[in-house]
A and B are shown apart, each in its own frame.
Chain A
Amino acid sequence: MIKGYANRILEVDLAARTFSFQPLDEEIARLYIGGKGYGTRLLYDTTKPGIDALGPENPLIFATGPLNGSLAPQSNRFAVVCKSPLTGGIGNAACGGSFALGLKKAGLDVLVIRNQSPAPLRLEVDGDAGTVAFLDATELWGQGTAATQEALGKSGYHAVIGPAGENQVLYAGIVSQERIAGRTGVGAVMGSKRLKAITVKGTAKLEMEDEEKFKAYTKWLRQHFRAHPMLGEKLRRYGTMGIVNTTNGRNILPTHNFRFGHHPDAMQLSGEYLEDNGLVGVKSSCIHCPVACGRDVMVDGARVKGPEYETVALLGTNLDIVDIKQVSEWNQLADDLGMDTISLGVTLGFAMELQELGMLETDLAFGKPEGISAMIRDIAFRRGLGDDLAQGVKRLSEKYGGWSFAMHVKGLELSAYDPRGSYAQGVEYATTNRGGCHVQGASMYMESTGPLTINPQSLRLKAELPVVQQNLACALNAMVLCMFSTYGIIPAFVHRMDPNSLLYRVVVGAFERSGPMYRWLLGLKVRPLLWFEQWLTYITGQTFTSGHLQEIGARIFNLERMYNLREGLTGQDDSLPPRMLHEPTFKHLHSGVPLDSLLPRYYQIRGWDAQGVPLPRTLKKLQVRV
């Protein structure tokens, strides 16, 4: 029995209305930790190739990790894994809220939902009693995520879908409190099962190997986070919208469907502007998080959940709209309908460009907020043109044309960092297994927006950085821990250095040239240094170091890759939209991401062949069984 785990999995069959509790597979836990890692292993092992992502064969896997249920800051996340209906490859998303804690309290590491119900249904899992109730959800069907959670009450922890999930919008998400597992269409899979909501409850307590050391260390760490210039000052004060002016200045803020990377009035969407204009209501946090990056926004005297950076960029500047109140309303509407605002914003931007070029007849137009709210509802309920937009930009471009400016990778719409001003992020987008996503590595922080930025448009470190970052992100998503935790890695003194000083340039120059040394250092298995390594060690009793996490992360990444290959994706899918490869953003200085120069190096570092297929020796070394 491993400490940090509930050592129990729940399998539910919605068609047969049966359930069974199974023991945790300790071998999988040892190799993949939990969360996304464990979920991907289960998905690979228990499904046949080529299944319909919206069919009964696609399981919906909710998975926690050993940090969930502890008091570790930023550890309240759960992972959802399934085949993605949007990409046809690996689907996964992570979510804050309270559901992860609920799963652990119910004594569950993993919850696997199989098959489909013929009628709307909700599940109530009582972990203490060891029961699962299959309850009629007809009256909840059609309700928004807020009303659904309110109707379910305060007893237990909920994960729900909105109308977008019910109607299988391909970028629908799953909501817990005000947070959403947004990406890759996991909500559509839940909707295909006609599963409206899951409630979990119980009183199980997390067992740790060394609880005293864990508590003392965590107490110290909370102070460290509060004093850290990025976590405790900038993110805490301005939220994720505090990055708007930086991405705008770096030409990486999506504008006009990613045609440009800069908007002259972007400042009106920034966290600083919000604070100065009395628009911030309450600053909110996930459980146990001292950063509290979330915030409510005041719109016409009412408090609504404020948008994140991705949302203000993609429903804002990407549509040539800089009205924060308007964007906040759309954000709240999308959350209530249960859909991913990243894919939504990119899809709307694509439709506007099609309209601009006369390729699509619609009232949607850049800079025009009228009609957007109605279109968001039409998407959720699959009405009229909304039915086309519900399928994302890849399918939209197949129907209406415009593939060169359809902003997706592998079918997943790009996040709000234009890779033409951030080459490592471009490589990360191109190669990330779930498609064009920023939180599967967040290379842009190390090259474009953070305190130690290397030249984002040289080739130095641009293949190494994504590998290291993707591996780390995989490990964090296996624990399951918030990616923001990594923003604390760069020490405070670096944040306080003058970026124009000689010393700074020496440090950055050395970092840029570190290449193989950087990877070697991170691969060392000496002793736990960073907080997540310490936490895992204190909780499980096994030693975790940077080297262990890089290895486990690489294992997960390669297994995801093998899943994608099995489902028909190939190295050809490791690409970027042609606009990102060939069009300049500003004054011809950004001529596109040199992916052809970087991908071969990336493949080589990964231990893959020239077609992007993991070599047998790589899989053997990482113990990836396929």
Chain B
Amino acid sequence: MSITVELTYDLAKLLGTRHLELEGAATVGDALRLTRAHFAEQQADFDRLTRVTALAVNGVLINHRNLWATPLAPGDRVSFLKAAAGG
């Protein structure tokens, strides 16, 4: 099963890619763990940059109690999001 992880700008810059294609992520918790693993030596930076980052699956923010257990389906897109304002 393949899902896409869409990184914030800062994370993308750190890793040198905007998206990650992940295999074997059945839940949001899995996706987060596998994404973190991609950062290898930079996991402290990953933790810092995701400290105030929300997560969305297919654009829908997940902020319910069982956040990490949220199931994923093939082709889903998990996005790291920062609060922002436009106009």
Chain A residues engaging chain B, CB cutoff 8 angstroms: 230, 234-235, 240-252, 261-262, 264, 267, 270, 272-273, 276, 293, 308-310, 416, 421, 438-439, 442, 445, 448-451, 453, 455-457, 483-484, 487, 495-500, 504-505, 508, 585-587, 589-590
Contacts and interface: CB of A to CB of B under 8 A. Distances in A.
A234 B6 contact: no
B55 A309 contact: no
Contact of B54 (A267, A273, A453): A453
B81 A250 contact: yes
Contact of A273 (B8, B9, B86): B9
A453 B83 contact: yes
A272 B12 CA distance: 11
Contact of A587 (B9, B12, B58, B80): B58
A8 B84 CA distance: 40
A34 to B, nearest CB: 22
B85 to A, nearest CB: 5
B86 A310 contact: yes
A449 B9 contact: no
B85 A230 contact: yes
A151 B20 CA distance: 54
B48 to A, nearest CB: 12
Most buried by B among A308, A456, A499: A499
Contact of A246 (B12, B58, B81): B81
Most buried by A among B12, B56, B80, B82: B82
B61 interface: yes
A114 B61 CA distance: 50
Given A276-B13, A457-B60, A483 B87 contact: yes
Contacts of B67: 500
A549 B77 CA distance: 42
Contacts of B82: 245-246
B71 interface: no
B56 A249 contact: yes
B59 interface: yes
Contacts of A234: 83-85
A586 B59 contact: yes
B12 to A, nearest CB: 7
Nearest to B12: A267
B87 A310 contact: yes
Given A246-B81, A267-B12, A456-B61, A309 B86 contact: yes
A267 B67 CA distance: 26
A249 B80 CA distance: 7
B58 A499 contact: no
A242 B86 contact: yes
A251 B87 contact: no
A156 to B, nearest CB: 28
B40 interface: no
A243 B13 CA distance: 17
A449 B79 CA distance: 13
B83 A495 contact: yes
Given A245-B9, A449-B86, A587-B76, A498 B58 contact: no
B9 A272 contact: yes
B83 A250 contact: no
A242 B55 CA distance: 18
A451 B54 CA distance: 9
Task: List 3 tightest A-B contacts by C-beta distance, closest first.
Answer: A251-B59, A249-B79, A243-B86
Interface string B53-75: 11110111101110100000001
A182 to B, nearest CB: 12
A505 B85 contact: no
Contact of B83 (A276, A451, A586): A451
B87 A293 contact: yes
Contact of B85 (A262, A445, A497): A445
Given A267-B9, A276-B13, A500 B83 contact: no
A272 B18 CA distance: 13
B87 A309 contact: yes
22 contacts: A234-B85, A241-B86, A243-B86, A245-B82, A245-B84, A246-B83, A246-B84, A249-B59, A251-B58, A262-B77, A276-B13, A309-B86, A309-B87, A310-B86, A445-B85, A453-B83, A484-B87, A499-B54, A504-B63, A505-B64, A589-B60, A590-B59
Contacts of B60: 251, 421, 457, 589
A589 B59 contact: yes
Contacts of B86: 240-244, 247, 308-310, 416, 449
B36 to A, nearest CB: 14
A487 B83 CA distance: 11
A299 to B, nearest CB: 21
A551 to B, nearest CB: 26
Contact of A421 (B8, B53, B59, B75): B59
Contacts of B85: 230, 234-235, 240, 242-243, 445, 449-450, 484, 487
Nearest to B61: A453
Most buried by B among A276, A451, A495, A500: A500
Contacts of B6: 248-249
Contacts of B80: 249
A16 to B, nearest CB: 40
B58 A243 contact: no
A530 to B, nearest CB: 17
Interface string B2-31: 000010111011000011000000000000
Given A273-B9, A310-B87, A498-B52, 18 more contacts: A230-B85, A243-B86, A245-B81, A247-B84, A248-B6, A249-B81, A250-B59, A272-B10, A309-B87, A416-B86, A421-B59, A421-B60, A453-B54, A497-B52, A500-B67, A504-B63, A505-B63, A590-B59
Contacts of A453: 54, 61, 63, 83
A226 to B, nearest CB: 16
A245 B83 CA distance: 10
